[in-house]
A and B are shown apart, each in its own frame.
Chain A
Amino acid sequence: MVIDLRRCDGCQSVGKPPQCTAACIEGHFAPAPMEWVQVYEAGLPGGGTQFIPTPCQNCQNAPCVNVCPVGATFHTPEGTVLIDQQRCIGCRICMEACPYDRRFFNWGTAPQPPEALFMDYSPEHQSPAIRGTVMKCDFCPDMARSGRLPYCAQGCPNRAIYYGDLEEDVATNGDEVVRLSRFLSENAAYRLKEELGTEPRVHYIPGHGEAVGRSASRKGRKPTEWPWQERRAGATSWTR
């Protein structure tokens, strides 16, 4: 995955909460307060801010996979890091290990819409949420199989999120197709906390939304919303 920060304005221009997060929540029934792809606002060296949409980094040397005592977190053959919530024992050592704060725990019975309860559970979409287990962004492997982009990439109004395949060296944001390796090198892409050696599979192209007309000094984004706060019987939400 490549995220072009030059095109991310935190959805200031559309005046909504970040649409990647919103689409992810809609698609995965991600329970509140989980933002599997979360748009952080970070300061820039010369003042002003940039927005950093942060999905699971799908590290190649994934600390969470290394420390899981029961192998509930694993690499698929394609390399995606998934969680088997039917095996997870809820020890949360993966949350301690993740240096990107990308893991979420079902502390109580998660608020989810009733339709989530009718889904067949699979680690690839993680619905319905299981109390006492860890969840996170799954890179939408089921969507890719049916030839669609992940929810976040589809939801992005500025087409800032590219999704691709390291094997075929190709990525797309739905509009254009790029040669992945060339796209990364030409734009001096970087990865979060490169120095930790986690080898993330999410790359960032530096920027602060300038390609879609955002000024770095325009701060703040709309808070994320969950449409189904109370739609599951006995559900309780919590804060992170």
Chain B
Amino acid sequence: MDALTVPAAWRERLERRGLAPLAGTSRRYALWIAFLCAVIAVGVFAYVRQVQEGLIVTGMRDRISWGVYIASFVFFIGISHAGTLLSAILRATKARWQLSVTRMAEFITVVALMVGALFPLIDLGRPDRILNVLLYGRWQSPLLWDVFAISTYLTGSTLYLYLPLIPDFALCRDRLGPSAPRWRRALFTVLALGWRGTPAQRRLLDRAITVMMIVIIPVAVSVHTVVSWIFAMSLRVPFNTTIFGPYFVAGAIFSGIAAIIVLMAVLRKLLHLEEWITRTQFVSLGYLMAAFTLIMGYANLNEYVTHGYKMEEGFVFHFDQLMTGPFMWPFWTYVVAGIALPGLLVLNPRTRTIPGITVAAVLVLVTMWIERYLIVVAGLRVPVMPYEPASYVPSWVEVAILAAAFALFALLISVFAKVFPVISVWEVAEHRGPEPGAPAAVEEPLPARRKILLGEAPS
């Protein structure tokens, strides 16, 4: 790939902006971290109660034996597909507009996988016996497939996050001011792997990125397919369907797009990245999201029409509870606010703005969690024997742990954004160049204490 010729001042601005968050913290950031830690602490307390008392402190019981935990597991594994889509699928198709947000998308992938993988562990009745999965693991079990797939995906996406970071680590290493702490310099030196940008190194890095880009796509598809199989391998009426694999993968990419749009909007504002993340990125991702509303709607139509036409025994109950029964509100919220409204917001030229698309993405994120909740809880509620349908209300423990998981997600993203450049500086500089419709560059002076770290350009 030939490097673009870009204006030197532009590149300098990009490097400064890209590295600025690394150069210091504000009081606001410290408060934010403290707030997240407090939420996590409440969640940890709730989990300690759960370990002490057993799962009786949750709202789950024999008949609805999975609840918020497994729904959130599916949700977080779903949004982890953001990175794969943006950096792998779009990179493979040689799209260039997404280069300024690939790094964020890869953060989401790694962090969402870390948080998502915690949920099955939290859900265990005997977390002390977790090693049994290694000692007595049976490959025939869908849960083992999850263990294999998620550990593979986490390893692969961590590697894939790291590869394009190498030249940026070198940049950090070279641009660190003389007063930067010694550990930071040592860290960047180690992580930069002696990167000097020689043609041989570029060739090797390009090759590594290409290999990982290709292998990560089937791994990502397999991950969400086997996540759906913990349901689809069951004989329960709403789960016993072939559409679950593709449907879960589509839902995963759908919520992944929404997650990256939200994160992009937040970081763009907080880190002043308006020059590199413009309406182009929002509209392109918005169109993708709109396309996925159609795919999701199509998958739902397929599922509900093929079963609803025949009205097998359990489905009569399932339909009633979703459409007119106890799950009526969440279900119609999902249909209206999760499928119809986001699509309309993106397709209507008047709302096809950065705020409009961000609102659509928030709607999608919220309703996709609801959708996962409906799959798990409404699915398990369908009686399999002649008994009165059970009810499930999450307890404070589950709510606290869920809140802690979101806080952990935000915390890890916040820390990542402080430690690593949130924009793939070298890729934007070399393969994208200035954004076509970027706002006029305003050279904001960096706060004084940040100048210490980003002293001067390397000679």
Chain A residues close to B by CB (< 8 Å): 40-43, 52, 54, 63, 66-72, 87-93, 95-101, 103-109, 131-134, 196, 198, 236, 238-240
CB distance from B16 to the nearest CB of A (A): 50
Residue from the set A67, A71, A131 with the largest chain B CB neighbour count within 10 Å: A67
A89, B56: Cβ atoms closer than 8 Å: no
CB distance from A2 to the nearest CB of B (A): 19
Interface string of B217-236 (1 = CB under 8 A from A): 00000000000001101111
A107, B61: Cβ atoms closer than 8 Å: yes
* Further 5 A-B residue pairs, CB within 8 A, beyond A69-B143, A71-B138, A99-B236: A40-B387, A70-B136, A96-B231, A101-B384, A132-B125
CB distance from B450 to the nearest CB of A (A): 48
| A40-B387, A101-B384 given; A92·B230 CB < 8 A | no
CB distance from A80 to the nearest CB of B (A): 19
B126, A97: Cβ atoms closer than 8 Å: no
Which chain A residue shows the least CB distance to B123? A91
CB distance from A68 to the nearest CB of B (A): 6
Task: Give the residues in chain B near A43, CB-CB below 8 Å.
Answer: 386
CA A43 to CA B385, docked complex, whole Å: 12
Main secondary structure on A side of the interface with B = loop
* Of B133, B136, B140, B236, the contact of A96 (CB 8 Å cutoff): B236
CB distance from A136 to the nearest CB of B (A): 11
- B306 lies within 8 A of chain A by Cβ: no
B53, A41: Cβ atoms closer than 8 Å: no
CA A54 to CA B138, docked complex, whole Å: 29
- B93 lies within 8 A of chain A by Cβ: no
Task: Give the residues in chain A near B124, CB-CB below 8 Å.
Answer: 89-91, 132
CB distance from A88 to the nearest CB of B (A): 7
Please choose the segment from B62-70, B103-111, B157-165, B424-432 that sits at the chain A interface, where 4 or more of its residues have CB less than 8 A away: B62-70
CB distance from A77 to the nearest CB of B (A): 18
* Of B56, B138, B239, the contact of A107 (CB 8 Å cutoff): B56
B384, A108: Cβ atoms closer than 8 Å: no
- B380 lies within 8 A of chain A by Cβ: yes
- B85 lies within 8 A of chain A by Cβ: no
- B132 lies within 8 A of chain A by Cβ: yes
Which chain B residue shows the least CB distance to A98? B384
A108, B53: Cβ atoms closer than 8 Å: yes
List the 5 closest pairs (A to B, CB-CB), nearest first.
Answer: A90-B125, A132-B125, A108-B56, A69-B143, A69-B141
Interface string of B306-339 (1 = CB under 8 A from A): 0000000000000000000000000000000000
CA A103 to CA B234, docked complex, whole Å: 14
Q: Which of B138-170 contact A (CB under 8 A)?
A: 138, 140-144, 147
Q: List 15 A-B contacts (CB under 8 A).
A: A43-B386, A63-B235, A70-B129, A70-B138, A72-B136, A88-B129, A91-B120, A92-B65, A93-B143, A96-B230, A101-B384, A105-B125, A108-B55, A132-B54, A198-B235
CA A205 to CA B54, docked complex, whole Å: 40
CA A54 to CA B386, docked complex, whole Å: 11
| A96-B66, A105-B65 given; A67·B125 CB < 8 A | no
Task: Give the residues in chain A near B63, CB-CB below 8 Å.
Answer: 101, 240
| A91-B123, A93-B230 given; A108·B54 CB < 8 A | yes
B230, A101: Cβ atoms closer than 8 Å: no
A239, B141: Cβ atoms closer than 8 Å: no
- B439 lies within 8 A of chain A by Cβ: no
A87, B140: Cβ atoms closer than 8 Å: no
| A69-B133, A93-B141, A131-B54 given; A42·B126 CB < 8 A | no
CA A12 to CA B380, docked complex, whole Å: 32
B386, A42: Cβ atoms closer than 8 Å: yes
Interface string of B255-293 (1 = CB under 8 A from A): 000000000000000000000000000000000000000
